[in-house]
Chains A and B, each alone.
Chain A
Amino acid sequence: MSDTLIAFDDVLASYDPAMGLEVHVELNTLTKMFCGCPTEFGAAPNTQVCPTCLGLPGAMPVVNRKAVESAIRIGLALNCDIAEWCRFARKNYFYPDMPKNFQTSQYDEPICFDGYMDVDVDGETFRVEIERAHMEEDTGKSLHVGGATGRIHGADHSLVDYNRAGIPLIEIVTKPILGTGAKAPEVARAYVAQLRDLIVALDVSDARMDQGSIRADVNLSLSPKGSGVLGTRTETKNVNSLRSVERAVRYEMSRHAAVLGSGQKILQETRHWHEDTGVTTSGREKSDAEDYRYFPEPDLVPVAPSREWVEELRGTLPENPTARRARLQAEWGFSDLEMRDTVGAGALNVIEQTIAAGTSPQAARKWWLGELARRANEQGLLVDALPVTPADVARVQALVDEGSLNDKLARQVFDGLFAGEGTPDEVVAARGLAIVSDEGALSTAVDNAIAANPDVADKIRDGKVAAAGALIGAVMKEMRGQADAGRVRELILEKLQ
Chain B
Amino acid sequence: MSDWTRKTAAELADALAAGETTSVEITQAHLDRIAAVDGAVHAFLHVDAEGALAQAAESDARRAAGTLLSVLDGVPIAVKDVLATNGLPTTCGSKILEGWVPPYDATVVRRLREAGLPILGKTNMDEFAMGSSTEHSAYGATHNPWDLDRIPGGSGGGSAAAVAAFEAPLALGTDTGGSIRQPGAVTGTVGHKPTYGGVSRYGLVALANSLDQVGPVTRTVLDSALLHEVIGGHDPLDSTSIDQPLPPLVDAAKQGADGDLTGVRIGVITELAGDGWQPGVMTRFQESVDLMVAAGAEVVEVSCPSFVHALATYYLILPAEASSNLAKFDAMRYGLRVWPEEGASAEEVMRATRDAGFGDEVKRRIILGTYALSSGYYDAYYGQAQKVRTLIARDFEAAFEKADVLVSPTAPTTAFKLGEKLDDPIAMYLNDLATIPANLAGVPGISVPSGLADEDGLPAGVQILAPALADDRCYRVGAALEAALLKQWGAPLLDKAPALEGPSA
Residue positions of A touching B, CB distance < 8 A: 51, 54-63, 90, 92, 94, 96, 99-102, 158, 160, 291, 293-295, 298-301
**Max count, chain A CB within 10 A of own CB: residue among B320, B323, B375:** B375
**Max count, chain B CB within 10 A of own CB: residue among A59, A61, A158, A291:** A59
**A494-B90 Cα distance, complex, nearest whole Å:** 95
**Contact: A59 with B236, CB < 8 Å?**
no
B201 beta carbon closer than 8 Å to chain A: yes
In the complex with contacts A60-B239, A291-B374, A298-B321, A51-B103 CB distance below 8 A: yes
Nearest-neighbour CB distance to chain B for A314, whole angstroms, equals 26
B35 beta carbon closer than 8 Å to chain A: no
Stretch at the interface among B47-55, B329-337, B390-398, B449-457: B329-337
Q: Which of B61-114 contact A (CB under 8 A)?
A: 83-84, 90, 92, 97, 100, 102-104, 106
* CB-contact partner of B324 in A59, A62, A102, A301, under 8 A: A102
**Contact: A299 with B240, CB < 8 Å?**
yes
**Contact: B374 with A57, CB < 8 Å?**
no
* CB-contact partner of B106 in A58, A99, A291, under 8 A: A58
Question: Which residues of B lie under 8 Å from residue A61 when comparing CB positions?
Answer: 239
**Contact: B330 with A92, CB < 8 Å?**
no
Nearest-neighbour CB distance to chain A for B170, whole angstroms, equals 21
Nearest-neighbour CB distance to chain A for B202, whole angstroms, equals 5
In the complex with contacts A51-B103, A58-B102, A293-B370, A63-B333 CB distance below 8 A: no
Question: Nearest 6 CB-CB pairs, A to B?
Answer: A101-B327, A298-B209, A293-B373, A298-B210, A57-B205, A58-B203
Question: Which residues of A lie under 8 Å from residue B375 when comparing CB positions?
Answer: 291, 293
**Contact: B104 with A94, CB < 8 Å?**
no
**Contact: B328 with A55, CB < 8 Å?**
yes
**Contact: A51 with B327, CB < 8 Å?**
no
Question: Which residues of B lie under 8 Å from residue A298 when comparing CB positions?
Answer: 208-210, 240, 321
**A26-B443 Cα distance, complex, nearest whole Å:** 40
Chain A interface, >50% SS class? loop
**Contact: A57 with B328, CB < 8 Å?**
yes
Query: What are some 20 contacts across the A-B interface (CB < 8 A)?
Result: A51-B103, A54-B333, A57-B84, A57-B100, A57-B102, A57-B329, A57-B334, A58-B203, A58-B206, A59-B202, A60-B238, A94-B350, A99-B328, A100-B328, A101-B328, A291-B374, A293-B324, A293-B375, A295-B378, A300-B240
**Contact: B378 with A58, CB < 8 Å?**
no
B4 beta carbon closer than 8 Å to chain A: no
Contact mask for chain B residues 175-187; partner A; CB cutoff 8 A; 1 contact, 0 none:
0000000000000
Given A56-B102, A57-B334, 9 new contacts (CB under 8 A): A54-B333, A56-B103, A58-B102, A59-B202, A96-B346, A158-B346, A295-B321, A298-B210, A300-B239
**Contact: A94 with B330, CB < 8 Å?**
yes
Nearest-neighbour CB distance to chain B for A327, whole angstroms, equals 44
Question: Which residues of B lie under 8 Å from residue A294 when comparing CB positions?
Answer: 373
Nearest-neighbour CB distance to chain A for B404, whole angstroms, equals 28
Question: Which residues of B lie under 8 Å from residue A99 when comparing CB positions?
Answer: 328, 333
Residue of A nearest to B200 (CB): A60
Question: Which residues of A lie under 8 Å from residue B334 when comparing CB positions?
Answer: 56-57
Nearest-neighbour CB distance to chain A for B176, whole angstroms, equals 12
Question: Which residues of B lie under 8 Å from residue A62 when comparing CB positions?
Answer: 236-237, 239
B342 beta carbon closer than 8 Å to chain A: no
B307 beta carbon closer than 8 Å to chain A: no
Nearest-neighbour CB distance to chain B for A370, whole angstroms, equals 50
Question: Which residues of B lie under 8 Å from residue A94 when comparing CB positions?
Answer: 327, 330, 347, 350
B358 beta carbon closer than 8 Å to chain A: no
**A280-B105 Cα distance, complex, nearest whole Å:** 48
Question: Which residues of A lie under 8 Å from residue B104 when comparing CB positions?
Answer: 51, 56, 59
B382 beta carbon closer than 8 Å to chain A: yes
Question: Which residues of A lie under 8 Å from residue B208 when comparing CB positions?
Answer: 298
